């Protein structure tokens, strides 16, 4: 496939046919082609949008029966769109799924607290230093005869 990049040069992209499927009229999955591009695959999940009135449990049984190979060790997770964006939805810990690491957040929090405590200690230290300087100046003035 030739693709123009907008600067007048063409880039040739080679796709390899991994499978040929028969088009089925009653299928819930309708596609023109499925492409896996390893250069642009950042390890995220593949999401599949299905027609509104699809029986999800029947589709799940069919996929598990066919044993379609996956990168996740042959596991598929079936969730509706509402379930996947709700705040109570618990995401599976898949080895290729990018998620934030709690230990890294904890290290950042501890660092921020240490910086804050250092700033507070410096402020208190500078305040006491200024007060002690003033007391020292008063004692010096009193020693010199000031009232």
How many Å apart are CA 72 and CA 92, to the nearest integer? Answer: 11
Residue 25's pLDDT is: 73
SS (H, E, C) 3-37: EECCCCCEEECCCCCCCCCCCCCCCCCCCCCCCCC
Q: What is the pLDDT of residue 109?
A: 94
Average pLDDT of the segment spanning 127-137: 93
Q: What is the pLDDT of residues 85-96, one digit of tens each?
A: 554 545 555 555
Check residue 115 and give its pLDDT. 98
pTM of the model: 0.32
Q: How confident is the model at residue 9 (pLDDT cuts 50, 70, 90)?
A: confident
Task: Give the pLDDT score at 87.
Answer: 46
Confidence band, pLDDT 50/70/90 cuts, at residue 122: very high
Domain boundaries, the chain: 101-147
Q: What is the pLDDT confidence band of residue 62, given thresholds at 50, 70 and 90?
A: confident
Closest CA to 77 of 63, 88, 66: 63
**Where does the chain show beta strands of DSSP type E?**
2-4, 10-12
pLDDT at 70 over 80: no
pLDDT tens by residue, 80-121: 666 655 545 455 555 554 556 678 888 999 999 999 999 999
* Higher-confidence position of 50 and 142: 142
pLDDT at 53 over 80: no
CA distance 140 to 147: 11
Question: What's the pLDDT at 89?
Answer: 44
């Amino acid at each position: 496939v030739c693709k123009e990049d907008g600067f007048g040069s063409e880039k040739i992209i080679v796709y390899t046919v991994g499978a040929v499927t028969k088009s089925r009229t009653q299928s819930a999955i309708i596609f023109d082609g499925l492409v896996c591009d390893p250069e642009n695959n950042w390890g995220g999940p593949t999401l599949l949008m299905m027609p509104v009135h699809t029986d999800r449990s029947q589709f799940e049984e069919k996929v598990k029966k066919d044993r379609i190979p996956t990168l996740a060790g042959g596991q598929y997770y079936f969730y509706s769109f509402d379930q996947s964006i709700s705040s109570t939805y618990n995401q599976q810990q898949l080895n290729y799924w990018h998620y934030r690491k709690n230990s890294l957040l904890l290290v950042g929090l501890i660092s921020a607290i240490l910086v804050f405590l250092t700033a507070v200690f410096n402020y208190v230290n500078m305040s006491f230093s200024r007060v002690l300087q003033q007391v020292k100046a008063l004692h010096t003035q009193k020693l010199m005869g000031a009232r």
